[in-house]
Structure 1
Amino acid sequence: SFLSLVNYYQRFIRNYSKIIIPLTDLTKKDPNDKVKKNQPIRYIGKALKAFKALKKAITNAPVL
């Protein structure tokens, strides 16, 4: 998964722990919520921004 990939490279990504929060929040599940198929994902704006930032961070060459 994408989260596993970026977790492997986290030491090379500046502010990784702050950027990843919206994506990890999407993986958390409230035991009282009944999940239905085709249920919309909440907070997609922040998660999409985090996804794009992490994608950019792992595809750009590091500056040595």
Structure 2
Amino acid sequence: MARTRERPLCRTRIVTEARLFRIFKAQRNTFFFGQQIHPVFFFFFSMFAALIHSIHHSASS
């Protein structure tokens, strides 16, 4: 959408999350709670990523 206004940090964060999510999907059959990622764990991961994102934005401005 408005990619020209986004900071490089945002784009890096999105790429990092995509990479981590690929790792989770690749390992979930053998590592994460049997056949799926635990919804609570995924929720906390999303909240943590959003928290880091907001901290970076407030620190840079």
TM interval, shorter chain, is 0.3 to 0.5
TM-score, normalization by structure 2: 0.40
Larger RCO (CA within 8 A; separation ≥ 6): 1
In terms of fraction of residues, the more helix-rich structure is 2
